[in-house]
Amino acid sequence: MDSKSKLIVFITFAVFIFFPVKDTFLLGLMFENLVLYFSVLKYLDAWMLTFMLFNCWVMVCFLLWLFPFSFYYWNKAVDEFESLKKLRGRAKNITTPTPHIAVVIPAFNEEKTIVQTIRSCQHQNWKPRQIIIIDDGSTDKTAELVINRFNLKRRFYVKQKPRLPQKGAVTAIYSNGIITLISKVNAGKSYALNLGFDYINRSTEYACIFDADTISHEEGVMGLIYPMVEDRDLVLTSGRNQIVNGCHVIDGKVVQVGVTKNPLILSQIREYLVDLVSKAFGNSLDAQAVLIGNFSGYRIDAVYKLNGFADRGMTEDYDYNFHVHAEKVGKIRAILTAQGWTQGPHSLSGVFNQRVRWSVGILDSLIRYRKVAGRPDAMGKFFVPVQMFKAIVFPIYFIANFSLIPLAIYLWMTNPHGHLVESVFMCFYLPAYIMKFVMEVGIHNYIDWKYIKNYNNASTYVWLAMFKMFFGYAYNSILLTCNAVAYWKYFWGTATWGKMERTKVD
């Protein structure tokens, strides 16, 4: 971690630690109130006792765990960003011939976005030798658009023995030498990916998967593949997602980066920015599991070792990530300097469908690979416990926090000891909220501005941070509801893929 970044992090935390509240320091005040609160517990009724015990527990967590962990967390995250910055520099200065790379694009009813995705592949500085589109039984004009726009010709398809599990017969194949469109009977994304990988030339060592709504920066393929060229143990990478809604796209290139006024999109933009830091920390623990599948790089021999993508669960990318860890075929890393754009759902139903499916997929994969947890010979032995904590404990913790506000208001207005509620909020939660805002505007934005720079205007970062502070409660409530519905659907076996939202970007 460079000294300047370390100083920024430490000063930000010092502002919180020594932030004066009611003429005293926060930590001293917390400790003083903690002693006071414990001393009055025996006088409280059941509801107030529950409220105060929960808040005492939160304060203990702040005092004994949060601050030491925060210093460790930010040091590890910034160290990872420094490493990725140097990695990108080495990739741009490579003098040896670029490796053979293929891009596989699974598509089902993607007529609004597929052309832009293919064009972005053509603009890469590391040119793919093959761009393979698998039309998985689309009922719209996906195939027709690709054929006409890229001048593809019908080819005679020679059926060969598949190396990976297949389902759904091939109905037609079109190609112009580099771009190939394979139409098949609908059988799901996993089988579409397996067919795409089977069609890659045997001399090709690396492949990328782009979803049909993904637009990559011109250095995107290089960013995903070069780390595997440099590190032979690395078998799976993914880039970072930025929401394309609100951006201006021409011919497969994002020529103007912007944001929309849609509150759901703004919430997702901020969520993706904050998630970059947790992914950087996950890299440092070798606990990276939930890599984005829409913009990812693969060492092809590892795909064959794992027998391709399994048709199980709701998220084939999560399952593959977990499978890599379980079978110890290699390392996984999020390459946060590799830039891709994706569409975020712009309606409440779209967010609901997407997040329920993701939550079901993560939970299903966690349960399937639960035996990896703590196994001493497992690659990334922290990986399953960390993901279990995030998937199971975090929702419970957030539900408790969200339940706190209506309970606090009720107790403040009706309970004889209601003055304790005001004391807790004024002396603890208010300064904690201020600290969170400082974190949002300060550290997260500084790290993104220095290492990523998703947006060119500093005011955009401040606006997104303020939006999250004032409207984050509502958005997190939506995500918690999605988690609850996902767990219900999973255990009752009623989860379905849902309908994906797409809007035209050209």
**What does pLDDT average to over the chain?**
83
453 vs 376 pLDDT, higher one: 453
Q: Would you state the pLDDT for residue 39?
A: 82
* pLDDT score, position 118: 96
Q: Is 137 helix (H, G, I), strand (E, B) or coil?
A: coil
Within 8 A by CB and 6+ apart from 342, the residues are 211, 213, 214, 215, 241, 242, 243, 244, 292, 294, 295
Q: What is the pLDDT of residues 371-429, one digit of tens each?
A: 765 555 555 555 556 666 666 666 666 666 667 778 888 888 988 888 888 888 877 77
DSSP run (H or E) holding 238:
strand 234-243
Listed as own residue / partner, the contacts of 22-26 with beta carbons closer than 8 Å and 24 or more positions apart are 22/426, 22/427, 26/431
Is the model's pLDDT at 322 over the cut of 90? no
Task: For residue 130, give Cα distances in angstroms to 102, 160, 180, 203, 357.
Answer: 5, 19, 7, 12, 31
- Contact (CB, 8 A) for 280 and 246: no
CA dihedral 164, 165, 168, 171 (to 10 degrees): 20
Question: Confidence band (pLDDT; 50, 70, 90) for 165?
Answer: very high
> What span, in angstroms and rounded, lies between the C-alpha atoms of 225 and 428?
47
Which residues, listed in sequence order, are joined to residue 403 by a DSSP beta bridge? none
Please state, in angstroms and rounded to a whole number, the distance separating the CA atoms of residues 482 and 373: 26
Instruction: Give the global pTM.
Output: 0.86
Contact call for residues 221 and 208 (beta carbons, < 8 A): yes
User: Given this model, what pLDDT does residue 122 score?
Assistant: 95
pLDDT-derived band at 23, boundaries 50, 70, 90:
very low
